[in-house]
Amino acid sequence: PNSHYKCRNCQYPRGGPQRYAVPDDKVSWKTNYPEYAPPEFTSESVSSGPVWADPGVTEKGPPPLKWNTVHGKVNRVSHMGQYEVVNGLPQNPVGRTGIRSRGHLGRWGPNHAADPIVTRWKRDKNGSKVIHPTTKKPILQFVAIQRKDSGEWAIPGGMVDAGERVSVTLKREFAEEAMNSLEANSEEKEKIKKSLETLFSKGVEVYRGYVDDPRNTDNVWMETVAYNFHDDTGDSVGKFNLNAGDDAGNVKWTDISSSLQLFASHVDFIEKVAKKNNAHW
Ligand code: RP5
Ligand code: MG
Ligand code: MG
């Protein structure tokens, strides 16, 4: 389903070069493409060597990292199964992207994220569920944030820190991006934590795997675990004080339907949530 719609035949975001053109029938590594000559790009924020990034390629060659395993606290295992390592570097399991090296991503190979999809039913003034006139199904809403990097609306997801449990990432990223916890004082932080406790204790996994992220290259790619936290009565999310923070510039409850346009392949995860809750799509 993910054939690099967002990470192929376009300019690499924020200062990157134009990707080498890859037609649909040349995406697979199994297809010969002898003229394929993708440019290389690593952003300054990655090559400057922050803690969240791997070492780069040196005169000695690619860094000797332990591929396809969890090494120390760093998880280099893909949800997609074993990935190939070609000339010392991981190879994108979905195929060619038209660009090499790390771009804006810190880890060679899979870069693990988590996506919290917080939902409630759309209700009218009297508290009754709003039914879509055509599908006759109730309309679901989710908490969307507007990303500062691309301006696109998205799920408030983020990177799983080294050694961090996914359940912790889901809650932390929602608190940071949709409730601005990073700028809260300790009393407010406690309040935010409390308000999330009940809803985030009973999530349902809806997706685990590759993300069609615009930052992906032939050697680095995003993977995620997406969870749905659904508030059927609207009681617990009613207490949420939505407030954009960190890499989010805006936040809002957004009606779910098939006409949604979101960052990366987030629409695919939202569709699963709509179907699972038997909501309008
Ligand atoms: C997407 O990038 C994931 O699905 C997740 O939403 C997000 C994580 O990256 P940052 O938000 O930290 O940039 O691929
Ligand atoms: Mg974040
Ligand atoms: Mg984020």
Q: Each residue of 239-259: pLDDT tens digit?
A: 788 999 999 999 999 999 999
Is the CB of 22 inside a 6 Å radius of any atom of ligand 1? no
CA atoms within 13 A on the CB side of 50: 10
Using one digit for the tens of pLDDT, what is the confidence trace for 133-176?
A: 999 999 999 999 999 999 999 999 999 998 999 999 999 999 99
Domain membership of residue 29 (yes or no) is no
Domain membership of residue 107 (yes or no) is no
Question: What residue owns the CA closest to ligand 1's atom 11?
Answer: 158
Domain membership of residue 56 (yes or no) is no
With a cut of 70, say whether residue 189 has pLDDT above it.
Answer: yes
With a cut of 80, say whether residue 65 has pLDDT above it.
Answer: yes
Please give the average per-residue pLDDT across 250-278, as a whole number.
Answer: 98
Domain membership of residue 15 (yes or no) is no
Is the CB of 212 inside a 6 Å radius of any atom of ligand 1? no
Residue to mutate, 6, 159, 169, 273, ligand 1, most ligand atoms under 8 Å from C-beta: 159
Ligand nearest to the CA of 214: 1
Compute the 3-state secondary structure of the chain and give helix, strand, coil in percent, each to the nearest 5: 20, 25, 55
Domain membership of residue 87 (yes or no) is no
With a cut of 90, say whether residue 123 has pLDDT above it.
Answer: yes
Domain membership of residue 195 (yes or no) is yes
pLDDT bucket at 236, cuts 50 / 70 / 90: confident
- The CA distance from 142 to 272, in Å, is 13
**Whole-number pLDDT of residue 238:** 74
What is the span of the domain harbouring residue 140? 112-276
Is the CB of 144 inside a 6 Å radius of any atom of ligand 1? no
Whether the complex's predicted ipTM is more than 0.95 is answered with: yes
Ligand 1 atom at minimal distance to the Cα of residue 226: 4
Is the CB of 264 inside a 6 Å radius of any atom of ligand 1? yes
How many residues are recorded in the chain?
A: 281
Ligand 1 atom at minimal distance to the Cα of residue 266: 4
pLDDT bucket at 1, cuts 50 / 70 / 90: very low
Q: What is the mean pLDDT of the chain?
A: 96
**Whole-number pLDDT of residue 159:** 97
Question: What residue owns the CA closest to ligand 1's atom 9?
Answer: 158
Ligand nearest to the CA of 52: 1
Using one digit for the tens of pLDDT, what is the confidence trace for 164-185?
A: 999 999 999 999 999 999 999 9
* Residue 68 tokens, joined: 């396809």
Is the CB of 196 inside a 6 Å radius of any atom of ligand 1? no
Find the CATH number of the domain harbouring 253: 3.90.79.10
Domain membership of residue 85 (yes or no) is no
Ligand 1 atom at minimal distance to the Cα of residue 114: 5
**Whole-number pLDDT of residue 269:** 98
What is 218-243 written as a DSSP string?
Answer: SSEEEEEEEEEEEESSSTTGGG---B
One-letter amino acid of 165: R
Domain membership of residue 106 (yes or no) is no
**Whole-number pLDDT of residue 2:** 55
Q: What is the pTM of this model?
A: 0.96
Share of the chain above pLDDT 90, in %: 93
- The CA distance from 264 to 50, in Å, is 24
**Whole-number pLDDT of residue 241:** 87
Is the CB of 115 inside a 6 Å radius of any atom of ligand 1? yes
**Residue at token pair 């990366």:** 264
**234: alpha, beta or left? (left if phi > 0; alpha if psi -120 to 50):** left
> How many domains is the chain built from?
1
Give how far the C-alpha of residue 270 lies from the chain's centroid of Cα atoms, to the nearest Å. 12
